[in-house]
Chain A
Amino acid sequence: MPSPEQWTHPEPGEGPAAQAAQPSREQVIAGLRNTDAGGAEVTQLLTPEGERIASPQFDRYISDIDPDALRGLYRDMVLVRRADREANAMQRQGQLGIWVPLLGQEAAQVGSGRALRPQDMAFPSYREHGVAYTRGVDFKELLGIFRCTDHGGWDFQAHGFHPYTIVIGNQVLNAAGYAMGQKFEGKVGDDDGEATIVYFGDGATSQGDVHEGFVWAAVYDAPLVFFCQNNQWAISEPTERQSRLPLYQRARGYGFPGIRVDGNDVLACLAVTRWALEECRHGNGPVLIEAFTYRMDAHTTTDDPTRYRLSEELEVWKHKDPIERVRVHLARNGYADQAWFDQIQAEADAFATDLREFCFNMPEPPPERVFANVYAESSPVLDSQRDEFLSYLAGFVEAGER
């Protein structure tokens, strides 16, 4: 892979920044073609055609992935996608206030999530439904956020899965602090060590908090894996609006390794994340992983991607589908037959039906929830505000209006 020393600095007026004020349609297309391939430096273990590529560096990290385990990863991705599609449909039917689709990012999330051990902690942003699933968080527990009945109801400690973070990049610093704590407690240094992983997107890499997270994790040697899912678009802004150079190469500037992995390759995501976590467990962290992937659907259900991206782009990425390549690999090698695939599909349909029924029957939170858990210790001002409001509401009950 090219090293930063090999780059030449452009003359003033020639560099990308000088021309970046308003990219033309041609520039955007050129940029897309540029990023489309992921570059020669991308780590891939399973091609879009389902061919296994040997890797001297990473094969040992997936030596336990026999056909049975690979079928497990396939099943994970199918279930996660099916649930994601169901939630998207439920939003369209007005049952959810909003949904953040992960379509196309199943391999990045399942692969990295399955690399974690129970003692590890994951800090998600708000699209990591697949990671949540691998951490044992019930998909139903995610729905409350999007049906707007709560801000996240799962037990973060039991699952090693922090609450979702909506503000872009905040969680990177929170994760850096958590990983510093693991280090301070002496929980790193051998193969049983602890590590933290933090998820963020390509857009977040422009945020100050992400840069500060890089600085903090580096100078305190925190066992933190930065897992950037570069899905090419921050709502309508392409990656070219976030960075002049491939995102994984930024790590070098902070003094730790950066690696780009094919984010649509579940085996590569699993292997590379296991490697990075191992580095962290042994006290050699942090590590930046850029999972080169693509958001096949909108940013959220409020978004209209046809306004800013080309349908040709979507067509190119359809050929790199993270689930299809595993299906082809399993089928071609005789690891699974059609009956098995049908069975998984049936299981996924049942998973989605269950989710739908749960969603429709989700109870409304009681009004006192507005005031609950604002503080760990009581606040007399808030207590009186609550009491006054509940007594006001009780007036309607007495009047028979509620």
Chain B
Amino acid sequence: MAAPVKSPVDGAVPAVQKLTIGKALNMGLRAAMEADDKVLILGEDVGKLGGVFRITDGLQKDFGEQRVLDTPLAESGIIGTAVGLAVRGFRPVCEIQFEGFIFPGFDQISSQLAKLHYRTQGRVKVPVVVRVPYGGGIGAVEHHSESPESLFAHIAGLKVVSCSNPTDAYWMIQQAVASDDPVLFFEPKRLYHNGQLKSEVDTTTPPGPLFASRVVREGTDCTLVAYGPSVKVCIDAAAAAAEEGRSLEVIDLRTLSPLDLAPVFESVRRTGRLVAVSEAPSESSITSEIAARVQQECFYSLEAPVLRATGFDTPYPPSKLEEHYLPDLDRVLHTVDRAMGW
């Protein structure tokens, strides 16, 4: 756990702190609520309990029940009322407890949240953030480990992002709340409280814009592109590959819609090879889109076809089998080997 952080009501926040992703999100939400009193949090168990992952811990205590709402148990209701609150001028942040439960809210997300701005020729803004803990690796039962982000990236009018480290978690959530567009914010739940990722977060200066991908490790032999929970896998894979003298570049997409592929194109033109990594099933996914666009933009630079290490096109398996399903360090390196050996 992070060292106790002084809440702003008690005193000033230190500029640099060592945080987990979970704590960074909590502090980011707190900062967003302090910056704008129109920011509300809505969800199941987000108040007294602080959310099932404790991401909203302490916020209701400090901001009150009218800004942190423990809602009835219905996801369409959470999203649908958030749309109405946004029309009224609020900036709601919805928490969906687990990604597998987002589907009752899918109608409101796709029919209203995504389209109201377009339908009204820009007269209505719906600055709603939908926070979605997603992905596997926590040994959970059915519907608690899925990666449905591609479904949302496919819907025009939504922006979709995913964070992979504490600094991004702290800043991206604030930038998402400040965005005038609806943002689906996918949080890698298995990394929430991962002590290995605990790092110093500069709370004074944002590291860059929200809708931009970033090179997180430089390399020359092959490019790895990933987002959310798979970024750590790729960074670990690159470290392992380096021990064998192979230099892998790792790019954290951060934004899934709009996809910022300029750094990927630039990288592939140098390395000639690309492996896209994601926990989601591969068919019609973010990684499919990357493969299509990279072959379109970098055709003459490619030394091998774009390869992918992803979840399989199956329902998420019982978690005793998830180690086989999730693309891990070995599967990523195996895929890199295939790319290198083309």
A185 to B67, CA, bound (A): 11
Give chain A nearest CB distance to B208 CB in angstroms. Answer: 15
Within 8 Å of chain B (Cβ to Cβ): is A300?
no
Residue from A162, A176, A184, A372 in contact with B80 in the complex, judged by beta carbons closer than 8 Å:
A176
Question: Is A376 part of the binding interface, using a Cβ–Cβ cutoff of 8 Å?
Answer: yes
Is B322 engaged at the interface, CB distance under 8 Å to the other chain? no
Contact yes or no, B156 A170, CB < 8 A: no
Would you call B207 an interface residue if the criterion is a C-beta within 8 Å of the partner chain's C-beta atoms?
A: no
Among B85, B92, B122, the residue within 8 A (CB) of A376 is B122
In the complex, B89 has a CB within 8 A of chain A: yes
Main secondary structure of the interface of B (DSSP, over half): mixed
Q: Does A86 contact B (CB under 8 A)?
A: no
A255 at the interface (CB under 8 A from B): no
Q: Which of A153, A179, A375 contacts B117 (CB 8 A)?
A: A375
Closest-CB distance, A119 to chain B (whole angstroms): 13
**B114, chain A: closest CB distance, angstroms:** 9
Q: Mark B94-127, 1 if CB is under 8 A from A, else 0.
A: 0000000000100110011000111111111101
Contact with B along A352-374 (1 / 0, CB 8 A): 00000000000000000000111
Tell me which of B87, B104, B120, B159 contacts A178 (CB under 8 A).
Answer: B87
Q: Which of B80, B90, B259 contacts A174 (CB 8 A)?
A: B80
Q: Give min CB distance, B266 to chain A, whole Å.
A: 15
Q: Are B120 and A174 in contact (CB under 8 A)?
A: no
A189 within 8 A of B: no
Name which residue of chain B comes closest to A150, CB basis.
B121
Q: Answer whether residue A157 sits at the interface, using C-beta atoms and an 8 A cutoff.
A: yes
CB-defined contacts of A142 to chain B, threshold 8 Å: none
Does B181 interact with chain A (Cβ within 8 Å)?
A: yes
Measured CB to CB, the nearest residue on chain A to B90 is A181
C-alpha spacing A381/B116, complex, angstroms? 20
Query: Is there an interface contact between B121 and A372, defined as CB atoms closer than 8 Å?
Result: yes
A162 partner residues in chain B, CB cutoff 8 A: 87
The answer to whether residues A212 and B119 also contact, given A173-B81, A174-B112 and a CB cut-off of 8 A, is: no
B67 to chain A: closest residue by CB: A184
User: Is A167 an interface residue, CB under 8 A from the partner?
Assistant: yes
Q: Is B222 among interface residues, defined by CB-CB distance under 8 A?
A: no
> Would you call B77 an interface residue if the criterion is a C-beta within 8 Å of the partner chain's C-beta atoms?
yes
Q: Does B338 contact A (CB under 8 A)?
A: no
Contacts of A377 in B (CB 8 A): 179-181
Chain A, range 156-188, C-beta contacts under 8 Å to B = 156-157, 162-163, 165, 167, 170, 172-182, 184-185
The answer, yes or no, to whether B258 is at the interface (CB within 8 Å) is: yes
A372–B122 contact, CB under 8 A?
yes
Is the beta-carbon distance between A163 and B108 smaller than 8 angstroms? Answer: no
Whether B120 contacts A163 by the Cβ 8 Å rule is yes
Contact A152 B83 (CB under 8 A): no
Q: Does B72 contact A (CB under 8 A)?
A: yes
The yes or no answer to B74 lying at the interface (CB within 8 A) is yes
Interface size of A in residues (CB-CB distance below 8 Å): 43
Query: Shortest Cβ distance from A157 into chain B, in angstroms?
Result: 7
Contact A167 B180 (CB under 8 A): no
Which of A39-47, A213-221, A257-265, A307-315 binds B?
A213-221
**A163 vs B83: C-alpha distance in the bound complex, in angstroms?**
13
* A12-B27 Cα distance, complex, nearest whole Å: 56
Within the complex, which residue of B66, B76, B181, B211 is in contact with A173, where a contact is CB–CB below 8 Å?
B76
Contact A177/B117 with A215-B74, A376-B122, A377-B181 known, Cβ cut-off 8 Å? no
Nearest opposing residue in chain B for A373, CB measure: B122
Instruction: Assess the A173–B84 pair: CB atoms within 8 A.
Output: yes
Residues of A within 8 A of B123 (CB): 155-157
Min distance, Cβ B64 to any Cβ of chain A, angstroms? 11
A256 to chain B, nearest CB (A): 15
- Asked if B88 is an interface residue, CB under 8 A from chain A, the answer is yes
Check if B76 sits within 8 Å of A208, measured CB to CB: yes
User: Interface code B301-328, partner A: CB below 8 Å = 1, 0 otherwise?
Assistant: 0000000000000000000000000000
**Cβ of B157 < 8 Å from any Cβ of A?**
yes
- Any A CB within 8 A of the CB of B221: no
What does the 1/0 interface line of B154-175 toward A look like (CB < 8 Å)? 0011010000000000000000
Chain A residue nearest to B75 in the complex (CB)? A212
Please judge, given known A-B contacts A376-B181, A382-B258, whether A170 and B107 are in contact too, CB under 8 Å. yes
Interfacial chain A residues near B111, Cβ < 8 Å: 167, 170
Give every chain B residue within 8 A of A213 (Cβ-Cβ): 77, 80
Residue A13 at the B interface, CB < 8 A? no
Taking CB atoms, residues of chain A closer than 8 Å to B202 are none
- The smallest beta-carbon distance between B265 and chain A, in angstroms, is 13
Q: Which of B84, B124, B127, B159 has the most CB of A within 10 A?
A: B84
9 other A-B residue contacts (CB within 8 Å) besides A151-B120, A177-B86, A177-B92? A151-B119, A156-B123, A167-B112, A185-B88, A209-B107, A209-B108, A379-B159, A379-B211, A382-B258
Using a CB–CB cutoff of 8 Å, the interface residues on chain A facing chain B are 123, 150-153, 155-157, 162-163, 165, 167, 170, 172-182, 184-185, 208-209, 212-213, 215-216, 219, 372-377, 379-382
12 contacts between A and B (CB under 8 A): A152-B120, A170-B108, A172-B80, A173-B84, A176-B84, A177-B82, A178-B84, A372-B118, A376-B117, A376-B127, A376-B180, A381-B257
